[in-house]
């Protein structure tokens, strides 16, 4: 994610890294979700690999039930200043709580065998370090999962009170994207709910104020 321009009483910038974990099917015992150095292991029998963070999903294997347990484990036990939030059933967002040099490079992997159980990207994306402004315009290329799912998220280091989004082609030409824009807390959502969607080669823009 790159800065175009920022406006605030204070100077500086701060954007947090992010990734989306999707659960399309049940999880199973001994499957893992890894974020950087933290390995979260699904546990149904109080037996997990030494050094892993056990997530007690005994009797709670579905996306509806396992999702909140995974979110709680990440928020409680992660060692890298991360925040997890369930955006919808089977959709878990993880983002950096502070802009640190290591956050953008955190690898995200999993051994979840269920269909549709996967990270959107192989590493957290969209961050830089600095001080938070109150108004910022951001841009980044759409990733493949955002094309498939038809929605994209921007995470800001402040509570969003207004947001405007638009799409341009890789050549910089404004695209007639007519999807929906919404925001909750510190995140902005772009949704391909209109007649013209973005493609993997397009660039997404978000102007957010807090």
Which stretches of the chain drop beneath a pLDDT of 70?
Answer: 1-15, 98-105, 128-133
The values of phi and psi at residue 64, to 5°, are -60, -40
Q: Is the pTM higher than 0.75?
A: no
What pLDDT is stored for residue 128 in this prediction? 56
> In the prediction, which pLDDT does 15 show?
58
Pairing of strands 2-7, 135-141: antiparallel
Q: Where do the structural domains in the chain lie, given as residue ranges? A: 2-15+131-209, 18-119
> What pLDDT score was predicted for residue 31?
98
Query: What is the distance between the alpha carbons of residues 102 and 84, in angstroms, rounded to a whole number?
Result: 17
pLDDT in the model for residue 104 = 58
Gap between the Cα atoms of 181 and 162, Å rounded: 10
Render pLDDT for 164-180 as a digit per residue (tens, 0 to 9).
999 999 999 999 999 99
Q: Could you tell me where the beta strands, DSSP code E, fall in the chain?
A: 2-7, 18-22, 32-35, 38-43, 53-56, 82-88, 91-96, 108-110, 118-119, 135-141, 151-155, 162-168, 180-184, 187-191, 203-209
């Amino acid at each position: 994610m790159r800065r175009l321009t920022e406006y605030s009483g204070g100077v500086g910038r701060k954007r947090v890294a992010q990734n989306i974990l999707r659960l399309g099917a049940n999880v199973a015992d001994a499957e893992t979700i890894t974020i950087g150095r933290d390995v979260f292991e699904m546990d149904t029998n109080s037996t997990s690999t030494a050094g892993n963070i056990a997530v007690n999903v005994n009797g709670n294997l579905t996306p509806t039930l396992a999702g909140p347990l995974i979110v709680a484990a990440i928020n409680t036990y992660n060692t890298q200043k991360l925040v997890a939030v369930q955006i919808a059933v089977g959709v878990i967002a993880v983002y950096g709580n502070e802009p640190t040099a290591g956050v953008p490079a955190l690898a995200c992997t999993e051994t979840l065998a269920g269909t549709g159980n996967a990270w959107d990207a192989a590493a957290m994306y969209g961050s830089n370090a600095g001080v938070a402004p109150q108004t910022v315009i951001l841009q980044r290329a759409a990733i493949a999962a955002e094309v498939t799912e038809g929605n994209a998220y921007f995470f800001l280091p402040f509570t969003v009170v207004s947001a405007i989004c638009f799409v341009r082609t890789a050549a910089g030409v404004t695209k007639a994207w007519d999807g929906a824009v919404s925001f909750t807390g510190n995140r902005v959502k772009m949704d391909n709910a209109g007649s013209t969607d973005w493609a993997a080669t397009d660039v997404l823009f978000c102007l957010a104020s807090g």
